[in-house]
Amino acid sequence: MVSDEVVDLAEALSQLVPDLPKVILLSTGGEANEAAIRLAKLVTGKWEIVGFTQSWHGMTGGAAAATYKAGRRGIGPLAAGSFGIPAPNAYRPRFPGVDWRTELDDSFEQLDRQSTGNLAAFIAEPILSSGGVLELPLGYLAALRDHCRARGMLLILDEAQTGIGRTGQMFAFERDGVVPDILTLSKTLGAGLPLSAVMTSERLAREAEAREFLFFTTHVNDPLPAAVGLKVLEVVQRDGLAERAAVAGGRLKDGLLGLKDRHACIGDVRGRGLLLGLEFTDQDGRQASEISDAVTDLGLELGLSANIVRAGNSGGTMRIAPPLTVTDAEIDLGVELLEAAILKAMAN
């Protein structure tokens, strides 16, 4: 039995992304990525999955195998056919003087040499959030899509953190004009309740049905979180929160760039909308990660919640992602507290 709330949310999502009108509603981002990977394997008939080596997609099965940021050691073999390539990093390029397109082309050349001819999908975050707030440059998604198409692969975009307005548009992929084959949403869609979604095209849905696609959980298509998700979409659109994220994000970024101008320990400020990263550099014999951790902890003592969840190595980058409803006064106060924490950390 499918409830009205589930149908209404699926319809609302399909109106936002008309090319991906088929929707499954699940509970977590990990589940959504698990379903997306399973779907890609089934419809392509292949089983190799590629992701970024700084990625975070979940902690279960296939999602964990596509997660390279942390959590890979001490648990035995992960899914066979898991490959990783580096995400572009303009601030710290792997090979100075080599542009992102050359690096991407070379990465796929290496993939082709390692693959058994069963490349099913590439799963990517438009902005690698926990991986250090690495934003894919304009043009990268289109080039990535072209590489996938040339190999019969599907493109899965994980917008758990970038979706529903955070980057200044409803979805981060809209900036690039590249609609993925499969889109996953979570976190921001439920506004605190466990809700995620997998979206795909009519063509892939038909093929999946013909091949007897199955992904079922106890709480698939639950009406309560669906009702919440529907209200989230209504409020975000009614109150113009995506547009607000662009404006507020610009104010926050200006504040962080001001800090960069005043403090030599800050090397880079990057990101989009209200998903920003502040990367420290090694300073006075201290490693960037040590400075980042100290600033985070001191900031919390001062009343600033930023970068509280940390796992693996993000190269000394603080992840700063205020609510879409953040006020100008709160942004200014946050920058002020952050500077106080930096001053205290560097004085110790």
User: Is it the case that residue 130 has pLDDT exceeding 70?
Assistant: yes
Selecting among 22, 253, 270, 319, the annotated active-site residue is 319
Residues 55 and 92 in one domain: yes
Q: Whole-angstrom Cα distance, residue 280 to residue 301?
A: 20
Residues 171 and 316 in one domain: no
284: domain CATH number is 3.90.1150.10
- Catalytic residue flag (residue 56): yes
Domain boundary at 238, 261, 287, which? 238
Residues 193 and 294 in one domain: no
The string of pLDDT tens digits covering residues 201-210 is 999 999 999 9
Residues 158 and 58 in one domain: yes
Residues 187 and 274 in one domain: no
Amino acid residing at 132 = G
Q: What is the pLDDT of residue 200?
A: 98
- Catalytic residue flag (residue 319): yes
User: Is it the case that residue 306 has pLDDT exceeding 90?
Assistant: no
Residue 280 near residue 316, CB atoms below 8 Å: yes
Q: What is the mean pLDDT of the chain?
A: 95
- Catalytic residue flag (residue 161): yes
Displacement of CA 274 from its chain's centroid (Å): 13
Domain boundary at 217, 238, 259, which? 238
Selecting among 34, 161, 222, 272, the annotated active-site residue is 161
| Per-residue tokens: 58 | 């979940």
Residues 118 and 99 in one domain: yes
Query: What strands, in cross-sheet order, belong to the sheet with 48-52?
Result: 22-26, 196-200, 182-185, 154-158, 119-124, 48-52, 82-85
Residue 85 near residue 111, CB atoms below 8 Å: yes
User: Is it the case that residue 62 has pLDDT exceeding 70?
Assistant: yes
The string of pLDDT tens digits covering residues 229-252 is 999 999 999 999 999 999 999 999
Lowest-pLDDT range, 36-40, 290-294, 313-317? 313-317
Q: Whole-angstrom Cα distance, residue 274 to residue 289?
A: 22
Selecting among 34, 135, 158, 268, the annotated active-site residue is 158
Selecting among 5, 125, 181, 279, the annotated active-site residue is 125
Residues 135 and 147 in one domain: yes
- CA 49, 54, 58, 64 torsion: positive or negative? positive
- Catalytic residue flag (residue 125): yes
What percent of the chain stands above pLDDT 70? 98
Domain boundary at 207, 238, 269, which? 238
Residues 79 and 109 in one domain: yes
Residues 134 and 245 in one domain: no
Residues 13 and 114 in one domain: yes
71: domain CATH number is 3.40.640.10
- CA 44, 21, 246, 298 torsion: positive or negative? negative
Selecting among 46, 69, 166, 187, the annotated active-site residue is 187
Q: How confident is the model at residue 308 (pLDDT cuts 50, 70, 90)?
A: low
Tell me, letter by letter, the H, E, C secondary structure of the chain: CCCHHHHHHHHHHHHHCCCCCEEEEECCHHHHHHHHHHHHHHHHCCCEEEEECCCCCCCCHHHHHCCCCCCCCCCCCCCCCEEEECCCCCCCCCCCCCCHHHHHHHHHHHHHHHCCCCEEEEEECCEECCCCCEECCCCHHHHHHHHHHHCCCEEEEECCCCCCCCCCCCCHHHHCCCCCCEEEECHHHCCCCCCEEEEECHHHHHHHHHCCCCCCCCCCCCHHHHHHHHHHHHHHHHCCHHHHHHHHHHHHHHHHHHHHHHCCCEEEEEEECCEEEEEECCECCECHHHHHHHHHHHHHHHCCCCCCCCCCCCCCEEEECCCCCCCHHHHHHHHHHHHHHHHHHHHC
- Catalytic residue flag (residue 158): yes
Q: What is the pLDDT of residue 270?
A: 97
Which residues are registered as beta bridge partners of 280?
Answer: 266
Q: What is the pLDDT of residue 312?
A: 52
Displacement of CA 293 from its chain's centroid (Å): 22
Which residues are registered as beta bridge partners of 185?
Answer: 197
How many domains does the chain contain in total? 2
**Containing structural domain, residue 320:** 241-347
Sorted by sequence, the CB contacts under 8 Å of residue 19 that are 6+ apart come out as 179, 201
Buried b / exposed e over 312-340, threshold 16 CB at 10 Å, is: eebbbbbbbbbebebeeeebeebbebbbb
The string of pLDDT tens digits covering residues 76-89 is 999 999 999 999 99
What percent of the chain stands above pLDDT 90? 91
CA triplet 173, 322, 245: central angle to 5 degrees?
45
Residues 229 and 282 in one domain: no
Residues 59 and 128 in one domain: yes
Residue 10 near residue 164, CB atoms below 8 Å: no
Selecting among 46, 56, 159, 268, the annotated active-site residue is 56
CA triplet 45, 40, 162: central angle to 5 degrees?
165
